Structure 1
Amino acid sequence: MISTDSSLGPALLTLAIGAAGAAFAALLQMPAPFLTGPALSVTLAALAGLQARLPDRFRDACFVLVGVNLGASVTPEAIDTAIRWPLSLVVLALSVLAIILLGSRLLRRLFGFDRMSALLTATPGHLSFVLSLSTDVRADLLQVTMIQTIRVLVLTLLVPFLAPLLGHGDLPVLPPQGAPPMPLWILLPLLALSALAGLALQRFRVPAALLLGGMGLSALGHATGTISGSVPAWLSVPAFVTMGTLIGTRFSGVTPSMLGKALGAASLLTVFATLVSLAVAALVSKLLGLPILSALIAFAPGGLETMIAMSLLLNADPAYVTTHHVFRLLMLTVVVPVLVARTRRVMAREAAARPPRD
């Protein structure tokens, strides 16, 4: 069991393990090492007993940094392709519904899940929203949490390795070099304004508010030519490492036996969701002439912040990816409560039809 006495100790140890994982992944030339390396190393440490955690303010500052860096990649050329996105969003909506409805059926038939737990477990994303619903409707909260968390981890590790198999060729081990770094006299005010924009979005319960606030302001400035340049590597790389580390902290308090019980259902659901995402990504790439890598990251039902950051690390189109992941979460916010209400009615009818117990 790994432990530490200082209140700051767990956070520093967690970051150190994440940084070591990133360095090792880069040494092995893994794609997106600053996300995949920390996610894997901190997950393993958490399963070994580390109370993995990160300070909230430090995490939020990294979200702002990543958002600003993503916004720097939004070019006028990327915006010109937006006219083709509505069809892509329709295909995304259909794929999300397929993952929920068919995935929940698989969980019920093969693993004996009750209807409500199967529905919420199969929902591809919006974890905090799904968990709040799980509490309200008395679903199996532990199973929902474990399988959703495993899905995010596996997709973070899997997507960078799938892309070369789809014909994209070798992926960059380090973030692609674009514009030169912004001078501090531009970067610091931009970061401050981005943080304020993110806090304002939080008041309206916008998902990933700080990341989107930073990306929005940065994209506006870069698209209009008001500002130019990217976040310096000495700031952006630690921010990406922190995001990878954050995935691993979700396994804090999870024991290997708990993981083992959820692994079968999580594996089935993740493979199914990945195959659906691959199919629709290939279809959209063919129909709209978009790069398969951008389509794959946009359709992969991983964590919003992680997938958006991965679009930059793997040199995909961040505007396209962000639009699709935000749309997916907004769609789930509307669709999942409707499906929950429908499932409640079905379960009530089934309960009423059962013969009374002696």
Structure 2
Amino acid sequence: MRHSLPLFGAIAAVAAVTFESLNVPLGAMIGPMLIIGLTVHLTKVNQAPGLDAHHFAILLLGLALGSRVTADVFERVKLWPFSLTILIVTMVMILWIVGKLNQRLLALDRISAHMAAAPGNLSSALAVTEHYGGALSQVAVYQSLRLAFLTLLVPFLFVVPETPQPIVLFQHTDFIIWLIVLSVSWGLTGLLRVLRVTTPGLIVGVFVGASLNLLELATLNTPPMFIALAMMLFGWRIGVDIVGQGVRTLLKTIPPAAISTLVAITIALIGAYITHRLLGFPFLDAALGFMPGAFQVMPVVALEVGADGLYVTTHHLIRVLAMGMLIPFFASYWSRT
């Protein structure tokens, strides 16, 4: 389709507005995910929003998270190393236990079963699967379904729909501040992209937003429209990625993927509860921070429910980095046994 990008953008926008008006939790993201997915299936056109749009959405999310960082963050982070240690142990348990479950449910080879269970760093999981001659397409489908389940399930568990409020894009004095902040932040994001830094928009956004707030240089009042735009772009991209795997294959894999995802969530919640009891972090913060996937979704949920977005984001970043280092190590062991 020649004009598929603006058409898909319009469909995503209408879906976001419609689902928000229906008071669906995170409707601005779930609506585009479902409707764009249906559109991809019907038209056979896989039109994602584009890499720049994706990075810009993550930047907006990072700025929103950073603007909520307060001075007591320095006191809270003292216990983060212990929380992160429990997180990594929990993710390793998911990798092993759910991998064993996948071998029974999907009759996959050992490497593929564990890579389908990998709670983070999809690129490493796929690279390892390909290296050892595993079922690459099944791992990709399985991971896509986990993302879909987490995106649909977690908002309904934690987000309480609010009465829609009139949307104001900017307060009068905020326009110049946001113009400067977005220009500088986008430039820094581009620099980190050139350096191939992971999630550059998120890092820049959190750093800039937190710095402005902590140094009292400016107060960033994130317009609700910005968060809605970021959610719409995330949902659009997720819908394209999931349905792009093939609807027939997805339908066949849904039952076992749902079972293993629920097991992974249960293990994650146990780890979160242990963290809550031992270290005193709010259970909501720990639960969102320990979810075994959906890196972009969980910080959005944190914003919606008033959880500690910096805690949640940091834990998901460490989860992805840790899995990137541990997956090849474990895969080497599994290939020998």
Distance 1:67 1:201 in 2: 14
Q: CA deviation at 1:204?
A: 4.6
Query: Given that residues 50 and 252 in structure 1 are in contact (C-alpha distance below 8 angstroms), is that contact kept between their aligned partners in structure 2?
Result: no
2:37 to 40, 43, 47: 43
SS in 2 for 1:31: coil
Change (3 A) 1:104 1:229: same
Taking only aligned residues, the RMSD between alpha carbons, in angstroms, comes to 2.3
- For the 8 Å contact 1:124–1:302, the answer to whether it is kept is yes
Partners of 2:44 and 2:202 in 1: how far apart?
27
Deviation at 1:336, TM superposition (A): 0.6
Q: TM-score, normalised by structure 1?
A: 0.85
2:61 to 66, 72, 80: 66
Question: How many Å separate the matches in 2 of 1:191 and 1:307?
Answer: 23
Q: Distance in 2 between matches of 1:21 and 1:48?
A: 16
Instruction: Give the equivalent residue in structure 2 for 1:153.
Output: 148
Q: Identify the residue that residue 297 of structure 1 maps to in structure 2.
A: 288
1:316-355 aligned at under 5 Å gives the runs 316-346=307-337
Counterpart-to-counterpart distance in 1, 2:259 and 2:225: 39
Give unmatched runs, 5+ long, in structure 1.
165-169, 347-358
Q: How much has 1:284 moved relative to structure 2?
A: 2.0
Q: Any idea what the Cα deviations from partners look like across 1:78-122, whole Å, max 9, x if unmatched?
A: 443222222211211111011000111111123211011112111
Amino acid at match of 2:150: L
How far residue 297 of structure 1 moved from its aligned partner, in angstroms, is 1.1
Tell me which moved more, 331-340 or 188-197. 188-197
Q: Which residue of 2 aligns with 1:225?
A: 216
1:107 is the counterpart of 2:98: no
Q: Assess, with a 3 A threshold, how the Cα gap between structure 1 residues 278 and 47 changes in structure 2: closer, same or farther.
A: farther
Deviation string 1:265-295 (CA, Å, 9 cap, x unpaired) is: 3112211111112222223223333332222
Superposition TM-score, scaled by structure 2 size: 0.90
Count of residue correspondences: 332
Q: CA deviation at 1:44?
A: 2.8
| Structure 1 residue runs of 4 or more that deviate by more than 6 Å after TM superposition | none
SS across alignment from 2:242: coil
Do the aligned partners of 1:99 and 1:123 also contact (CA within 8 Å) in 2?
yes
Stretch moving more, 314-323 or 29-38? 29-38
What amino acid is aligned across from residue 14 of structure 1 in structure 2? F
**In the aligned structure 1, how far is the partner of 2:255 from the partner of 2:302?**
29
Q: 2:129 aligns with which of 131, 134, 137?
A: 134
- Check conservation: 1:197, 1:214, Cα contact below 8 A: no
> Using a 3 Å threshold, how does the CA distance of structure 1 residues 279 and 47 change in structure 2: closer, same or farther?
farther
Partner SS, residue 300 of structure 1? coil
* Candidates 83, 88, 95, aligned match of 1:93: 88
Q: What SS does the corresponding residue of 2:156 show, helix, strand or coil?
A: helix
Structure 1 contact 194–213 (Cα < 8 Å) conserved:
yes
1:243 match:
234
Structure 2 counterpart of 1:229, one-letter code: L
CA distance in 2, matches of 1:47, 1:314: 33
Greater displacement, 82-91 / 137-146? 82-91
In structure 2, distance between residues paired with 1:307 and 1:146: 21
Q: Which residue of 2 aligns with 1:33?
A: 27
Instruction: Report the CA distance shift for 1:263/1:252 in structure 2 as closer, same or farther (over 3 A).
Output: closer
Change in 2 beyond 3 A, CA 1:308/1:207: farther
Alignment-mate amino acid for residue 224 of structure 2 = A
Do residues 255 (structure 1) and 246 (structure 2) align? yes
- Find the residue that maps to 1:48 and give its secondary structure: helix
Q: Call closer, same or farther: CA 1:252–1:173 in 2, change over 3 Å.
A: farther
